[in-house]
A and B are shown apart, each in its own frame.
Chain A
Amino acid sequence: MIYRETGQFKSSYASDQAIFPIVQDRVLVLLGIAAAFVVPPLVANEYWLQAVLIPLLIYALAAIGLNLLTGYAGQVSLGTGGFMAVGAYSAFKFATSFPWLNIIVVFLLSGLIAAAVGLVFGVPSLRIKGFYLAVATLAAQFFLVWLFNKVPWFVNYASSGTITAPTRTLLGVMVTGPQASAEARYLVALGLVAVFALVAKNLVRGRVGRSWMAIRDRDIAAEIIGVRPMRTKLLAFGISSFYCGVAGAEFVFLYLGSAETLAFDINLSFLVLFMVIIGGLGSVLGSFLGAGFIVLVPIFLTNAPHLIGLPLPVALQKQIELMVFGALIIFFLIVEPNGLARLWQIAKEKLRLWPFPH
């Protein structure tokens, strides 16, 4: 009843090509964004912001990045953690070498560095594809993490080998460093992810996104109709790594505060890949849903035994958590291989027809 597009006529090309062509969608998204900016800083406590919302936004940004590459351009990558590490370490170097640089500029610059690195490691995609490529991107993962571990220049010769986010302000408010409030960090992360999600949404419906999808669906056919595979694939690697790089920089500056290379190991790559698959390949919304799922499920699993008054030994609980997490992933893949975004789509179809069955 509410979700009905009757009477909404498209009378110009612009309205036909809008990102959200249906009024209700537009209103819902705008309301959602406004609520995200206003409600959590007022309502949520420190724990919720720090442990749930901030990582969720940062993971969502990384997931959008990987989704551009894997979901839209069809190139499976297991090097996300490595590219995020590039972003984090270059942000650290920029911030400490040029203290006067605006923190947003630092994030963008480190994204660019990550994009350059991504281009280099994207070169094998011109020759190999599928799982061979996936394994080849592991080379990026292991090599980059090793590099940051081995070369002391990246950590400014700190003996501990960790990078720590220096204190920086934005519009007079402290947003990074140990004294920055969770609210400020949340808002910065939210602003960045909102802008980049919009950019991604626009990228994938334009020429670039269409050439990515053509390559994904049938690379040879795409080549024949004039999509240049080399440029398209490398562009996908570059832009995806840019997103991952910015997410990596935020990961240290807005979420962890300080980190070693261990934070960027292969598990991070898998985590982001999970988000993309569970959320839905080829869907920007899915990246958010997937990030929410992967962030919330472990927290729920950790707290569930306490809620039902069942105290468990820590080790046993950790093991059960692993098992349930693994089983849930298999369960979700079986129930809906196209991800949470597809469930949302089905729900929308149903809403459209409601209360009629057809």
Chain B
Amino acid sequence: MSEVQVRGLTAVQQFELRRTLGELSRASVTTSSDSRFGEAALIALIVTAVPAAGMVLASWLAKARRSRRIEMILESELPDGSKHMAVIRVEQDEAVQLDSETMKALASVFRIPVADIVKSIDSSDDS
């Protein structure tokens, strides 16, 4: 199953999103073995590229996140081997409906209709 790599989040945001996504995500760990030692880098989050994950991610961005400002890079590999990358920025104190650019970006990475993303955000309101 293809995966989406999520980079750019802080450790706290990663932790929060990982907990929200549960089984649909995992922390990316590397087993370094070369001779270079150096600065610590945040690990990446790997999200399973299924519609459900895209919808949970959208709801988290719109409603559940605790940080005011989020900046994330989503990168996935398409079946033909090419890479698809989307940058998402959200900066609001309150819960928001995501802007159309963000929803389009999520829709393209997770290959789901934008309408489904809107629906999932709305339904997370109800719950």
Q: A and B: partners?
A: no
Chain A residues with CB under 8 Å of chain B are: none
Chain B residues with CB under 8 Å of chain A are: none
